[in-house]
Amino acid sequence: MATATLDAPADAPADDALKPFTVTLIIRRFNPEVDEEPKWVDYDVEMFATDRILDALHKIKWDQDGSLTFRRSCAHGICGSDAMRINGRNRLACKTLIKDLDISKPIYVEAIKGLPLEKDLVVDMEPFFASYREVQPFLQATSKPGAGKERIQSVADRARFDDTTKCILCAACTSSCPVFWTDGQYFGPAAIVNAHRFIFDSRDDASNVRLDILNDKEGVWRCRTTFNCTDACPRGIQVTQAIAEVKQAVMRGRA
């Protein structure tokens, strides 16, 4: 198996640091049409320090093996479609820079865990989105605003749930949760985060409905506060804190 090499040491002059170097990616491949089990395959690619893992995957797919399968769309950390495990941690391939990894060793890339593997780095996201839909992640306002006016919200009221509006539904948090790995019925962190966004929205009138949904053995009480979800979130959302706030709201019986 090849190992990654770097042409210039870390303290080399800036000009040398701009030179490409060889990186080894070891990717967990799986083709359901021919493979009984996934297998690890290694690829050597020339990269620059400021390139991303997504760039490396593109080079492999375009120049070495067109059968490599992965999801990507915006490539700027907004769509969340290229979440995968990189060196054992859930990350977005489009936001993970080569220079931020230990390139003295091969870089391991595999699909996120806990969701059905379809091919290579692609998983079936439907169970994830089913939980998301179940928490009713949309504004439900029964009261009418004043004639010709919007529903006004104070800065303080908005701040109450501002953090959880950042979710891009990448599933990095949910698929990093050991409870989710072993219990496919658990709503998972992302669904609870998106429930939080509306539970604490002062304009919404369905908070109690969502609290009832999450007050379930597969709801917020399955969280074991391991903080994996918070560490995995590429948007920096305080996921574990949001889950704790929903737990507190359930116990109070209101947001």
Q: Angle at the Cα of 30 (from 25 to 34), degrees rounded to 5?
A: 135
Among the four given CATH numbers 3.30.450.20, 1.10.40.30, 3.30.70.20, 1.10.1060.10, the one describing domain 126-252: 1.10.1060.10
pLDDT band at 18, cuts 50/70/90?
confident
- Separation CA 176–CA 90 (nearest Å): 7
> Whole-angstrom distance between the N-terminal and C-terminal Cα of the chain?
55
Neighbours of 91 (CB within 10 A): 22
Could you read off the pLDDT of 77-103 as tens digits, one per residue? 999 999 999 999 999 999 999 999 998
Q: Tens digit of pLDDT for each residue in 113-159?
A: 999 999 999 999 999 999 999 999 999 998 888 766 888 899 999 99
Residue identified by tokens 């399968």 is: 69
Task: For the chain, give every domain's residue range.
Answer: 14-123, 126-252
**CATH class given for the domain over 14-123:** alpha beta
**Each residue's pLDDT tens digit, 33-72:** 999 999 999 999 999 999 999 999 999 999 999 999 999 9
User: Considering the entire predicted model, what is its pTM?
Assistant: 0.89
Cα–Cα distance, 10 to 25 (Å, whole number): 20
